[in-house]
Structure 1
Amino acid sequence: MKVTPLGLLCEPGGFYVDPSRPVERAVVSHGHADHARPGHGAVLATPETLAIMRARFGEDRAGDEQQAMAYGESVTCNGVRITLAPAGHVLGSAQVVLEWQGSRIVVSGDYKRRRDPTCAPFLPVECDVFVTEATFALPVFRHPPDSHEIRRLLDSVALFPERAHVVGAYALGKTQRIIALLREAGWDRPVYLHGAVEKLCTLYESLGVRLGELLPVPKGLKRGHPPILAGEIVLAPPSAEATPWARRLADPVTCAASGWMTVRQRAKLRGVELPLIISDHADWDELLETIEEVRAPEVWVTHGRDDALVHALGLRGVRGRALHLVGRGDEEDEGAPEAPPTEEEADAARRGAPS
């Protein structure tokens, strides 16, 4: 594998993994915008990822040639054997397993280790080189159980029945996961959706993920109409909470579902009243556990807090290498990316988060 301005290039195979700009041949790990780009010549991905790309980019921009490959299936390209394994990040997300001349590299894409009712769980694959993300690679990031955070949300709804609860979450993956977790926790009432998240919820359902009754937030209300959706749960992109759209709702409780909500300063600056620590990435302990499970003597880190993770790997006798790939970590929030923490925020997390 070679690091290039376009991303990771498999030189003998003649293809890129998650390239940052259009290329002739690409293997795409999942549908988030910092990994899946429009305009490639040929794209290999899971059927779900290809469906997500078509929904987001249009049929003619998701790859001139689209090759769907299920988990566990393999194809050989110029002597390089390609297999896709579940990554547990979002629906269809995959690790890219590459084998050539007796060696194996696994490119994880983004991944999480928590159970997620909307996608297949992460599958550790032993390898010679493991290419990992490091989004939450600081010891302060130890995410609580998802059920605990969902219970906090439901308790707040019960405590403030006169208010709407608006949960800011990524349109792809996080929104659908929160809905599924709410259903498991016993919420059988409708979940209301901002228009920007409806399309992907519909796609998830068409791909077999059951989300229960979903309704759009009512539009076209006349001036002076009483606030709506008191006691209800609304899912929206994080950026929507600060727009006039939210004013129609009954005294909304601003919530945000993100691993970054560990950083209390970030929650405060964003005006988040109820921060929910629900992440679609592995936390610090899960990163280290994963690296131990795959038994790779060499680990490459694509983005995030690579310095802390590389240091921790060195203490464990594992060779670490920071790749500094361009464009990684900028997952979309309908045009408002949620960036990694600044140094000031990271310092605040170190001081204020539980260890």
Structure 2
Amino acid sequence: MSTASDLLEIRPEGLYCPPGGFYIDPVKPVDKALITHGHADHARAGHGAVMATSQTLDIMAIRYGEDFTGSRQIANGAQVVNDVSVSFHPAGHVLGSAQIKITHKSTGTAVITGDYSRQPNPACAPFEPIPCDILVTEATFALPVFRHPDPLGEIARVLASIEAFPDRAHLIGAYALGKAQRVIMLLRMAGWDGPIFIHGALQRLCDYHISQGVPLGDLRPATIDRGKKSDFAGQIILGPPSAFAATWAQRFPDPVICFASGWMQVRARARQRGVELPLIISDHVDWPDLTQTITELNPAETWVTHGREDALLRWCELQGRKARPLRLLGYEEEQD
């Protein structure tokens, strides 16, 4: 007799659905891939065919070029792939991010969450809880110590620092897809209505968010004309974390280095990056939201991937819940 666990199996390429003949977020090129969101560790170029939300397909084209796949299919409502019903539902992680629900009449339903967050995010659609037999969940912050604070409270710390040090530029490290736009929106919600200067690596994705109705406000290139360094005193500049390791950050007046990431709760990581003002702003579920999700959805099985698997497996055991680790490789924890 078939069970829900027959819906999915682990292969070297990644998570595979045998009755559907497709992979989900594969780490190697495959004939057919369903993609949860546009971060590079989940969305890779070179697949024969890709199904994803329209926004994720657009983002992949921006990042990889229009020929990133042989063919593309927009996920729009429930669709049948071979004998499997497939639907995409908001994950609350980044623009276009989705959980993928797959159902087979003889095996049941599985939901692959990809990366997800239950905190309000003004830059993307909110997480949608989906009942299922198998829940495949990330475990990026799956330790009880990880409890993300109110992100607006973290932004308030930036604004307080600007008030205290008006002669210094405030540089915020934020990943180009998702985190940068969320930080910008949080700044707007907190009352910062002035210009926000952005590194060139953020421009195309910020422009795309604006085209999708995300009101990022007045964005300007973070370029310095000769003799105009002082113009950035008291200003906010966003750039990818990689730019902060170069001389780019030192072009600005006595910069206060900030970094927006859930990992900023770990002080050693902030010190390693030379971060003066760590901002604990995460686009992943923390421990309370992760355990709440499992409790709320009450799946027959929980499959745990990429992160702190052992702690969550132990929690499931203590709760009398069936769980297993997937040990998938190729997903990076730093995309937060």
Q: Shorter-chain TM-score: which interval?
A: over 0.9
Aligned counterpart for 2:80 among listed residues 59, 76, 83: 76
Local SS of the residue matching 2:168? coil
Cα drift, residue 69 of structure 1: 1.7
Match of 1:308? 311
Aligned partners of 1:94, 1:319: CA distance in 2, in Å? Answer: 25
Match of 2:96? 92
1:29-49 deviation per Cα after TM superposition (whole angstroms, max 9, x unaligned): 000001000011111100000
Q: Which moved more, 1:47-56 or 1:323-332?
A: 323-332
Residues 21-60 of structure 1 aligned to structure 2 (within 5 Å) = 21-60=28-67
Is this contact kept in 1: 2:306–2:331, CA < 8 A?
yes
Counterpart amino acid of 1:68?
I
Match of 2:4? none
Aligned partners of 1:312, 1:271: CA distance in 2, in Å? Answer: 34
Aligned partners of 1:85, 1:74: CA distance in 2, in Å? Answer: 10
Moved over 3 A (4+): 224-228
Local SS of the residue matching 1:106? strand
Aligned partners of 2:173, 2:324: CA distance in 1, in Å? Answer: 34
The answer on 1:10 being equivalent to 2:10 is no
Aligned counterpart for 2:141 among listed residues 125, 136, 142: 136
Counterpart amino acid of 1:140?
V
1:191-233 deviation per Cα after TM superposition (whole angstroms, max 9, x unaligned): 00011111110111112211000000124x44x6644411000
Counterpart amino acid of 1:56?
R
Match of 1:200? 205
Instruction: Name structure 2 gaps, 5 residues minimum.
Output: 1-7
Is this contact kept in 2: 1:164–1:250, CA < 8 A?
yes
Is this contact kept in 2: 1:87–1:123, CA < 8 A?
yes
Counterpart amino acid of 1:65?
S
Local SS of the residue matching 2:232? coil
Aligned partners of 2:13, 2:61: CA distance in 1, in Å? Answer: 22
Aligned partners of 1:328, 1:280: CA distance in 2, in Å? Answer: 15
Aligned partners of 1:268, 1:247: CA distance in 2, in Å? Answer: 18
Match of 2:218? 213
Local SS of the residue matching 1:60? coil
Counterpart amino acid of 1:49?
T
1:285-317 deviation per Cα after TM superposition (whole angstroms, max 9, x unaligned): 000001111110210011100000110011111
Aligned counterpart for 1:258 among listed residues 258, 261, 270: 261
Residues 1-355 of structure 1 aligned to structure 2 (within 5 Å) = 1-61=8-68, 63-70=69-76, 73-102=77-106, 103-219=108-224, 221-222=225-226, 226-330=229-333
Taking structure 1 as the reference length, the TM-score comes to: 0.90
Is this contact kept in 2: 1:227–1:248, CA < 8 A?
no
Match of 1:352? none
Is this contact kept in 1: 2:133–2:301, CA < 8 A?
yes
Is this contact kept in 1: 2:33–2:47, CA < 8 A?
yes
Instruction: Name structure 1 gaps, 5 residues minimum.
Output: 333-337, 339-355
1:84-114 deviation per Cα after TM superposition (whole angstroms, max 9, x unaligned): 1110000000000000025000000000000
Is this contact kept in 2: 1:302–1:328, CA < 8 A?
no
Counterpart amino acid of 2:16?
L
Cα drift, residue 331 of structure 1: 5.1
Counterpart amino acid of 2:237?
V
Aligned partners of 2:228, 2:127: CA distance in 1, in Å? Answer: 47
Cα drift, residue 242 of structure 1: 2.6
Match of 1:346? none
Local SS of the residue matching 2:258? strand
Cα drift, residue 26 of structure 1: 0.6
Cα drift, residue 330 of structure 1: 4.9
Counterpart amino acid of 2:81?
C
Aligned partners of 2:332, 2:291: CA distance in 1, in Å? Answer: 19
Local SS of the residue matching 1:59? coil
RMSD in angstroms over aligned alpha carbons? 1.2
Taking structure 2 as the reference length, the TM-score comes to: 0.95
Match of 1:342? none
Counterpart amino acid of 1:8?
L
